[in-house]
A and B are shown apart, each in its own frame.
Chain A
């Protein structure tokens, strides 16, 4: 009987038995669909009652966590009815974290936003305009006009501002004063001295190099600094086309790339800023180009007496400096926030004189508050002071990089960094690299202009 039972074809199951399983599956699919469509980044949100919890994403979490904790503690003491939920996001992951939250929901009320990321977020409708709030509050007239202009330009929506600028950075030519003195070299404040020093300080057989360059992540931004500073070309666009492949810039790029292996370690090909700064700090390398942010690392490695930082030299004796604009860091208010009133209180507090000064002192950056520029710590931090002076010099030509282009980040990073490595390896000429970069930029700008005209 058992055998007969096993060999018998199973009888069809009643239809109603399948229904529960089908219902469960259908419910699950619908739930997934619903969750995928929920609370996208461009939801309108609301003002709220000015109390409750404000979620804040730090766009350089880890490195800046201690100073933000101080600012948040001071804010919560002043506003006991508001709690700030601090979320540190590593700088390398912040872009994808924002993109994911914009697409799938879960954006904070306030977030750190650099001008380099602003265009992407504005294009996705994620950020609330803050121009009126600035004009109607204590921040009016207190923010650096240059940084305000950068924020407006990066947003790509005319004069509207989509973040409150808090600090700016600038590329600095850091050099080891002890090595320069020992070699009898002057400070590298002109290009001839720079290249001479790079060569004289190099003795590869004895593990000594004149310069360390950035060949990995961030290489193109650094190359642009070197190109424009040497060439003196003062604008990024001319006649609707980029000046990246102008003959003066190509020549400058060729000289800069020529340093690779001649005056730099071969391993520089993969350098991102962490590796580059670590390498500078652990060996006998004469010079490094990096922003103000690495000042504490250099002081820690060598002490204040053995390191100095100056702005990149002017293109020629007596000529004004040419500086490509560095991204301006700021705080953005998200459109989807249901508690914008409380969120704005936090932004305004973080951008107050005292807090902005504190943040920039610890970060070694240039404060956005005009009234913080004269603070004692700025006087003591020579590289920061020199950077501020060069930026504020009316003769200085600031080359505004096209942060407003949604493609800018991709083009200037993953889109062309492998080509920059080909240039260093001799697999591509400076002209070919500059032409490719220019082609991508011109195409992106044409598309952007076309959309704005529609």
Chain B
């Protein structure tokens, strides 16, 4: 090692930057600063406020709360309702997006005329912003100008109705809108992984007499495992934290029927001004997500030996 140091040319960047030991710290310092500013500080801040009564319109109530906010949420029906709905929303969305995304990826991975256009069409919803997605679907669901109006003109259903105003249909209406946006995410990730599977594996399986189903189960799926685990985990976290689509499409309604936990947090903090309680709700949501993510990665043995 001493020989290597002695051979190092003079005037290298390492010397100019103030010595070899400092350079790595300087190089990672922007990332560290960003993480401190945009991750650590907000997280510590939320944790701090979760232990306080903090309502900007009632300054007389503000002060140390200990675990009061946490004990209050255990007895809060709206918290439990929104948590149950969040679980239902995440489970349905991720399962359907995965199934449809996988199917689409398998289709556009085949060789056929118009494959390029088909791929572009499949992936295009992912390029549309959340607000635009909501606007598109709100127009489709609009009682005066949307699909229901044309169906009523054709004698199907009634005038002045919207799937978003019926508690029996609003869930699936919102699921459909989010599927449109979410399916391409899975399709893109899975297609990228599909293309890395060596063709000779399929040829060898074919020679051994394996049909398409067996090839899919024993070659394709095992190869896709890591991509599926990672994408479902990411999507589950995103769907759990989904605010934009539900907030603008349903506002959490009607009658609270589509209120997820993050929407409840937004209502409590923004409209109710109760930032202490909203922080406690956020902390609990964070712990739940963290626990579920760790459990999921352990159970799925993510990154383990494929053999």
User: Which residues of chain A have a CB within 8 Å of any CB of chain B?
Assistant: 5, 13-14, 17-18, 20-21, 24-25, 28-29, 32, 36, 95-96, 99, 102-103, 119-120, 123-124, 204-207, 209, 215-217, 264-270, 278-279, 282-283, 406-407, 409-410, 413-415, 417-419, 421-422, 425, 427, 447, 451, 454
Contacts and interface: CB of A to CB of B under 8 A. Distances in A.
Contacts of B203: none
B41 A269 contact: no
B272 A414 contact: yes
Contact of B22 (A17, A95, A417): A17
A406 B145 contact: no
Contacts of B45: 36
A451 B25 contact: no
Given A32-B36, A103-B56, A119-B57, A17 B25 contact: yes
Interface in B48-85: 56-60
Contacts of A415: 271-272
A414 to B, nearest CB: 4
B56 A99 contact: yes
29 contacts: A17-B19, A20-B25, A21-B26, A25-B32, A32-B37, A95-B270, A103-B56, A119-B57, A120-B56, A123-B59, A124-B56, A124-B59, A204-B160, A205-B158, A216-B253, A265-B143, A267-B160, A267-B162, A269-B165, A270-B164, A270-B165, A282-B144, A406-B273, A410-B272, A417-B253, A421-B253, A421-B254, A425-B167, A451-B60
B interface: dominant SS: loop
Contacts of B41: 29, 32
B1 interface: yes
Contacts of B21: 13-14, 17
Nearest to A271: B165
Contact of B144 (A217, A283, A409): A283
A265 to B, nearest CB: 3
Contact of A207 (B19, B159, B162, B270): B159
Interface in B193-248: none
Given A25-B32, A102-B56, A279-B143, A209 B160 contact: yes
Given A270-B165, A414-B267, A421-B253, A25 B33 contact: yes
Nearest to A450: B60
**Chain B contact patch, size range:** 35 or more
Contacts of B160: 204, 207, 209, 264-268
Interface residues of A, dominant DSSP: helix
A99 B143 CA distance: 35
Contacts of B162: 266-267, 270
Nearest to A423: B255
Contacts of A418: 252-256, 259
Interface in B1-59: 1, 4, 19, 21-22, 25-26, 29, 32-33, 36-37, 41, 45, 56-59
B251 interface: yes
Nearest to B160: A265
Interface-central residue, B32, B159, B259, by most chain A CB under 10 Å: B159
B144 to A, nearest CB: 5
Contacts of B158: 204-205, 266
Q: Which 9 residue pairs spanning A and B have beta carbons closest together?
A: A265-B160, A17-B21, A267-B143, A406-B57, A21-B25, A207-B159, A414-B271, A269-B165, A267-B162
A177 to B, nearest CB: 21
B36 A25 contact: yes
A13 B167 CA distance: 63
Contacts of B283: none
Contacts of A36: 45
Contacts of B270: 95-96
B161 interface: yes
Nearest to B144: A282
Contacts of A215: 165, 254
B152 interface: yes
Given A124-B59, A209-B160, A421-B255, A282 B145 contact: yes
A278 B32 contact: no
Interface in B129-184: 143-145, 152, 158-162, 164-167
Interface in B99-154: 143-145, 152
Contacts of A5: 1, 4
A270 B159 contact: no
Given A119-B57, A124-B56, A267 B19 contact: no
Nearest to B26: A20
A17 B267 CA distance: 47
A206 B152 CA distance: 9
B81 to A, nearest CB: 11
Contact of B152 (A13, A103, A207, A279): A207
A266 B165 CA distance: 7
Contacts of B33: 24-25, 28
A409 B57 CA distance: 11
A119 B59 CA distance: 12
Given A21-B25, A207-B159, 18 more contacts: A17-B22, A21-B26, A21-B29, A28-B36, A28-B37, A99-B56, A204-B158, A215-B254, A264-B160, A265-B159, A266-B166, A267-B162, A270-B162, A406-B57, A406-B58, A410-B271, A417-B253, A418-B256
Contacts of B36: 25, 28-29, 32
Contacts of A32: 36-37, 41
A433 to B, nearest CB: 11
A267 B165 CA distance: 5
Contacts of A216: 251, 253
A206 B158 CA distance: 9
Contact of A120 (B250, B251, B252, B273): B273
A17 to B, nearest CB: 4
Nearest to B255: A421
Nearest to B34: A28
Contacts of A419: 255
A339 B259 CA distance: 44
Q: Which of B21, B25, B60, B259 has the most CB of A within 10 A?
A: B25
Nearest to B163: A267
Contacts of A204: 158-160
Contacts of B259: 418
A53 B271 CA distance: 32
Contacts of B253: 216, 269-270, 417-418, 421
Contacts of B26: 20-21
B251 A205 contact: no
A36 B251 CA distance: 30
Contacts of A21: 25-26, 29, 32
A123 B267 CA distance: 20
Residue of B21, B22, B160 with most chain A CB atoms under a 10 A cut-off: B160
A17 B159 CA distance: 73
